[in-house]
Chains A and B, each alone.
Chain A
Amino acid sequence: MKNMLNKKNILILVIIIVVVIVISLVIYFFTKGENKYPDQPIEQKSLISSDLNIGVNKFVEPKDSKYFLWTVSNSVKLNSVQKMVQSLSSNFELVDSEEGVYYNWKNGTDEILYDTLKNYLLFNHSEGILMDEAEINANVFSKFVKRFFDVDWKYNVFKNEKGSNGETIYYAKRILEEDINIEVREHNQQTDYLAMKDGKVIYGKLLLTEFEKTDIQLPLITSAQLIQYINADEYPKEIYPQLNALRDSLLKEIDYLSEDLEKVLDTLKNCESTSSDLIYYYKSFDQEYLTPVYKLDALCEVSYNNETYSIPAIAYVNAIDPQYVYIPE
């Protein structure tokens, strides 16, 4: 009897241990994919630090608290570009190039430049590339890149304006996933634009960089931490004043090419953010990673001739939890 009881106890114990191990293994494997944070801090190459302070107001926390890390693929699309050049006209001649750096084709006043500094293709083709639509929308952008580069990229066409020769220029941001856009600093923050006239695309600028999603998740900095760290030394952030707001005031008094404008920009101060958004910030082809960045719309001040002018600015601020990111020397 005693033996049987012992055997029974041992059996129960073994079963419990096995069940616990199985459950532990199940839990481990199921959650392994969920919380894969970087083993080491990520090198933040797309942002440096600025010593200009900015106040954080009306900050809206993003829906998720974690976003994925993307890598910037270093593959160039030279073959596709060459095929595109040939398909537009056999008269295009390669007039200038540096292997692996840039390629410049010309055909009269038409010009195509493939630049790997930022991996952009810039083209103008007076004959135009016929599209099926009368105007350019997100689908047209996707069709265009599919046709010439065989890629399935999605776009958000957010603005259009008239050019000086009757064409319409459409500005777009490439969509990374769901409703997250890639943005650049310049101009309207568009990654691409195409200009259309009489149903034909006559010039454009396309970002040809491929981005690959990793399974590494990046926890975001909380709003309280952001307020604490944003003005600390070395915190990754860049602030760019938007001079177009001064077109009807200061820029009518100051020649934009003169030193006076630089002196005005040197007085930039008292920046306060008024809204926030989360984007993926693209700066150059060799930035290695595409990381989430907070884009803050801000109002700053500049001074000229004892007058103070309010000027909007855009600040790009690191959004990743500081323990997972660093700026290279």
Chain B
Amino acid sequence: MPQQKKQYEEALGSVFDFIFEESQKPPEKRKPMKVTGVDGTSEMVEALTAVLENPGLYVGDTTMEAFKDAIDIDMVKATGVGRRVPDSIKFNVQDIGKIISDPGGYIDKQFTKIEGIRKQQRAAWAGEEMKGILGSMWARRSGLDKETQQAMLAAGRLGKTDEFSGRTIGMRTSMDTISVPLRTEKLASKYLSGGTRELTIDEFKERFGSRLSPTDIGTKWAQYKKFRKQYQDLQTANDTEKLSKLHFDRNLFTFLEGTELSEKALLEKNAGNKDKSREYTKAANFIENIYDPEGNKKFIDQQKLLLRNYSKAIESLRSGNDPNKDAKIKRIRDDIKGIRSNLRTSSLEKLAGNIGQWEGMYYSARDLFVNGNLLPNIINGRFFDDKYNSLNFLQPSKGDSLERSGIKIDFHAPKAAHNKFQKVYFENMNTLYYLSPVSWARTLMTGEGFAYAGYLGQKKFEQRIKKEIANFNWGAFMGDLKEGKDAYLTGIQNNLSQEQREMIQKFLKKDARLAKLAHQFGAVNRIKESIQKKFDVLIGQRVRNAVGKALLSKITNEVAVGLIKDWMLKGGIQTLVQGLTTAVSAALGVVGTPIAGAIAFLVSELVYRVSKPVIKFGAQVVVLLLIGIFASIFMLISSLGVLTLGQHSHIAPYEVIQCDAFVGTFPIIDDPDNPGGLNPQGPMEPFVAGALDSGEQCLLGSGSFSCTQGPYGSFSHSKVAAIDIGGTNYFHAPSFCGNGGTCKITYVGDVNCAAGYAGGLVKFTAEYQGQTYEFKLIHVDSPLAAGQTITSGQRVARTMEWHETGSKCSSGKHLHLETKHNGATVNPYDVLTNLPSQGGFGCSLSACR
């Protein structure tokens, strides 16, 4: 075993030794751990050292609780109707004794906890209902049909989910998961299903032309085609599960509902009912924007602008001599009433949506502050967890993750602040979390602390590098770092000074070290998750399959069937509740009404009552396995070399990770497998050309240039035989153009990648003595147009500066060049550097990286 790895294992082993053996003893009997080799450069290591050397001060029941908590396994997810405190049925390490002696009683206790939380959700559910009802009332008042009223009811309840904590903001209850997918299913059959006629682009323009720009219509048309294809592919493959999931797609719902309402607007317009048509158009706008905060704000601003314009119109009519002014003023006043009602509805909906959020804040405050819980909650980390502390002004942390080379480790980061005071509070409180023994214990299982150290290093480096290099593209640099690539650094290499290169390399070394540590310390967590998965597959899924099959034999509604199937696959009692509620509501014909919401509660009561004995039974079986599972955890860990028990030397982990062989992420030059970097792997023909006149000049101008990326094999050239050239300002036409040769521009335009603008594109051909060269230049600016003839040595295009192309598709100033010779793709490097006697242009160009 290599020396370093052995040391690393020994270091970890000594820490685990301590935790398992020494900390179990009474404080006065704990032996302090002697720590050597600490290099004093890390606060975390120093703090950890202090703990190990003075165990009595820091390690107590709280730390042990947290440690055990980290290796508890969620056996059954039993989330309630709401979203507050996690309510899974866990098998805790410390409760092993209780579970073994009374598994049924243990499960009862878990369920009691869940039911308590569900009762607390009622107020939030009422608020959510109000929101939907208000939307529906607006539609009714505007004289829109029943279907549209139901659509407004569903759309008004759409909410957002906070991804890190899983907490729903703006309250999403089971209601919208019933009515929205059913509505989507119906509209999808009308617009997307195979066998339905595809709308032509003209029909699209007819429906959307009055409220969307040509560009937006084009985008909507593309979206329509995409949804149609996706839907019909799933129908053809008979993939009911994915189809069912698609019905829950909010984007699809708002798209289809917007299309349906635009259709209704057109029908009313064609029938001569302009007012009705306008109302439907408004409803379409409303639904398309309602759950998008930016769109919602835009909608409200538009309504306010309309009000102002209408007031001016009334003033002007009053002072004018229009014989029909009274009728016109009356009509405008009616419109104004409608707009004011829209604005009131929007405000009330916002207010109703907030009820759930306030309810969460009340419970957070009660849990945190009542009975002197604040300090313990800070120490045990709950204060920093969104699930337990939803008081926005006090919560200093948000979820973040360190992504490096495809690995992702979650950690707590300070929230973004709006003022200096908040910034200081958030940063210091977040640091406090990482100074608590609980977070160290978690770090040993999840690597979180090292991820946070990496994050801090990254922030510091960002400040320094941006000061040092004004146009440093931080976004491109981080993008590469996340994926373990170095395309951006390669591109700017030539523009960096030696000090700058060293600074970057130093950061990359340290960052890689911390990321590696975070990943390695997360091994236990990963093992735990895989065990959880295995448990679910072996036991949980079998139970669900049996129950699910029985249910499926009775239920026919497609959405409900999809939900049940989803539950059978993944579990989660809420999914089961939703499935059953959908089936019942659809059967009773009460979908989209408040009654369906009440049904949800009744069904969930029923489901919990039915599932409890099933889970209890399962628990009897599970208990027998538990002992075996936990024994396996320790055996697995020790076989991976992460944990060993026994006598070890006491060395802090931080010092042993350094690997001298690691040289950073710069490309390796003089790669013996790819000398000169010119070993293309794609479909390129060898460049064999007839001689040109000896007076042929380099197309890049005079001087030396650098090839910063070669054909194929590199990040952005993986599919193209292209080279990137740095240090050139212009690309010239060959000297033979107009001198026995014919050269013509064949294409000029802008080019965009998926992320944005990438500059100009120019293509031209150059024919000479039976040979045809084709050149394609990207990230350039040209004054020429397609069809124009070019003359000898003419400047065809200028390489754009880095700020002209932005940073979304192009990293720094460079010319992207592709070439063909007599129709065959050839290596541009060869075309440029070969001598004229070999058909090239004799440029001085460095070897491609």
A contact set with B: CB distance below 8 Å: 47-50, 96, 101-102, 104, 108-111, 113, 115, 117-118, 122, 124, 126, 163-165, 185-187, 195, 202-205, 238, 240-252, 255-259, 261-262, 265, 274-275, 283-286, 297-299, 301, 307-312
The answer to whether A96 and B729 touch (CB under 8 A), given A117-B783, A312-B214, is yes
Apart from A251-B754, A284-B784, what are 18 other A-B pairs with CB-CB below 8 Å? A124-B470, A124-B801, A126-B470, A164-B475, A187-B804, A243-B750, A248-B222, A249-B225, A250-B222, A251-B752, A252-B754, A299-B217, A307-B225, A307-B229, A308-B225, A310-B217, A310-B218, A312-B215
Set of chain B residues within 8 Å of A47, measured between Cβ atoms = 785
Kindly state the separation between the CA atoms of A286 and B719 in the bound complex, as whole angstroms: 38
Expressed in whole angstroms, the minimum distance between the Cβ of A143 and any Cβ of chain B is 21
B106: interface (CB < 8 Å): no
With both chains docked as a complex, state the minimum distance between the C-beta of A204 and any C-beta of chain B, in angstroms.
8
Known: A96-B729, A310-B221. A244 touches B752 (CB 8 A): yes
B480-537 at interface with A (beta carbon < 8 Å) = 495, 497
A77 CB to nearest B CB, Å? 18
Name A261's closest neighbour in chain B (CB-CB): B751
**Docked complex: B162-221 residues within 8 A CB-CB of A:** 201, 205, 214-215, 217-219, 221
* B370 in contact (CB, < 8 A): no
Q: Contact between A247 and B754 (Cβ–Cβ < 8 Å)?
A: yes
CB distance from A297 to the nearest CB of B (A): 5
Complex Cα distance, B786 from A301, in Å, reads 20
Checking A101, A122, A204 against B795 with a beta-carbon cut-off of 8 angstroms, the contacting residue is A101
Summarize B's interface: helix, strand, loop or mixed. Answer: mixed
Q: Is B753 an interface residue (CB 8 A)?
A: yes
In the complex, whether B461 has a CB less than 8 A from a CB of chain A is no
Is the CB–CB distance between A274 and B730 below 8 Å?
A: no
**Across the two chains, which residue of chain B brings its CB closest to A127?**
B470
| Complex Cα gap A48–B783 (Å) | 12
Contact status A284-B783, CB under 8 Å: yes
Q: Is the interface of A mostly helix, strand, loop or mixed?
A: mixed
Whether A274 and B214, one on each chain, are in contact in the complex, defined by CB atoms closer than 8 angstroms, is: yes
Cβ of B459 under 8 Å from chain A: no
Q: Does B661 sit at the interface, judged by CB under 8 A?
A: no
CA distance A50 to B225 in the complex (A): 30
B749 touches A241 (CB 8 A): yes
**When A and B form their complex, what is the total count of cross-chain residue pairs whose Cβ atoms lie within 8 Å?**
168
- For the complex, is B756 an interface residue (Cβ under 8 Å from A)? yes
Residue of A nearest to B492 (CB): A109
User: Which B residues are CB-close (under 8 A) to A255?
Assistant: 718-720
CB of A245 within 8 A of CB of B219, answer yes
CA A241 to CA B747, docked complex, whole Å: 12
Which of B497, B786, B803 is close to A203, meaning CB atoms less than 8 Å apart? B803
The 4 closest A-B pairs by CB, nearest first: A126-B470, A284-B783, A249-B222, A256-B753
> Residue A113 contacts which of B205, B729, B808 (CB distance < 8 angstroms)?
B729
Complex CA distance for A245 and B218, rounded to whole angstroms? 7
Contacts of A101 in B (CB 8 A): 795
Q: Are A164 and B474 in contact (CB under 8 A)?
A: yes
A164 to B717, CA, bound (A): 23
Q: List 28 A-B contacts (CB under 8 A).
A: A47-B785, A48-B787, A108-B497, A110-B470, A113-B729, A117-B730, A117-B781, A117-B798, A122-B801, A163-B807, A165-B473, A185-B750, A195-B803, A203-B471, A205-B801, A238-B786, A245-B222, A246-B752, A247-B754, A251-B753, A257-B716, A257-B720, A257-B722, A261-B751, A286-B783, A299-B218, A309-B225, A310-B217
Please determine whether B801 and A256 come into contact, CB atoms closer than 8 angstroms.
no
**Contact of A243 with B806 at beta-carbon distance under 8 Å, contacts A126-B470, A202-B470, A256-B758 already known:** no
Known: A48-B788, A165-B466, A249-B226. A311 touches B801 (CB 8 A): no
Given contacts A101-B795, A117-B795, contact A256 B751 (CB under 8 A): yes
* Complex contact B201–A299 (CB within 8 A): yes
Q: Give Cα A115 to B801, complex, Å.
A: 12
By beta carbon, the residue of chain B nearest A238 is B785
Question: Quick one: given A117-B783, A258-B719, A309-B225, are A165 and B474 in contact (CB under 8 Å)?
Answer: yes
B480 to chain A, nearest CB (A): 14
- CB-defined contacts of B781 to chain A, threshold 8 Å: 117-118, 186
Q: Nearest Cβ in chain B — how far from A277, in angstroms? A: 13
Provide the bound-state CA to CA distance between A50 and B748, in Å: 12
Chain B residues positioned under 8 Å from A257 (CB to CB): 716-717, 719-720, 722, 753, 778, 816
Which partner residue on chain A sits nearest B749 by CB separation? A240
Q: How far is the CA of A255 from the CA of B716 in the complex (A)?
A: 9
Query: Chain B residues with Cβ under 8 A from A113's Cβ?
Result: 729, 801
Q: Does B809 contact A (CB under 8 A)?
A: yes
Does B214 contact A299, Cβ atoms closer than 8 Å? yes
The answer on a CB contact under 8 Å between A104 and B222 is no
- The distance in angstroms between the C-alpha atoms of A284 and B784, with both chains bound, is 8
Q: Which of A49, A96, A102, A109 has the most CB of B within 10 A?
A: A109
B500 closest partner in A (C-beta)? A109
Contacts of B226 in A (CB 8 A): 249
A130–B758 Cα distance when bound, in Å, is 29
Q: Which of A108, A164, A261 contacts B807 (CB 8 A)?
A: A164
Q: How far is the CA of A203 from the CA of B719 in the complex (A)?
A: 33
Closest Cβ–Cβ distance, residue B621 to chain A (whole Å): 48
For residue B601, CB closer than 8 A to chain A, the reply is: no
Are B751 and A243 in touch, CB under 8 angstroms? yes
A124 touches B783 (CB 8 A): no
The smallest C-beta distance from A272 to any residue of chain B, in angstroms, reads 9
The minimal Cβ–Cβ distance linking B101 to chain A, given in whole angstroms, is 57
Beta-carbon contact of A301 and B201 below 8 Å: yes
- Which residues from chain B contact A122 at a C-beta distance below 8 Å? 801, 803-804
**A248 to B473 Cα, complex, angstroms:** 23
The smallest beta-carbon distance between B839 and chain A, in angstroms, is 23
Min CB–CB distance B301 → chain A (angstroms):
18
Shortest beta-carbon distance, A240 to chain B, in Å? 6
Bound together, the chains give a CA A110 to CA B813 distance in angstroms of: 12
Of all chain A residues, which has the CB nearest B807?
Answer: A164
Residues of A within 8 A of B538 (CB): none
Whether a CB of chain A sits under 8 angstroms from the CB of B123 is no
Complex Cα–Cα for A159 and B703 (A): 39
Q: How far is the CB of B734 from chain A (nearest CB, A)?
A: 18
**Per-residue contact bits, chain B 794-818, to A (CB 8 Å; 1 contact, 0 not):** 0100100111101111000000100
The residue in B471, B719, B807, B816 that gathers the most chain A C-beta atoms within 10 A of its C-beta is: B471
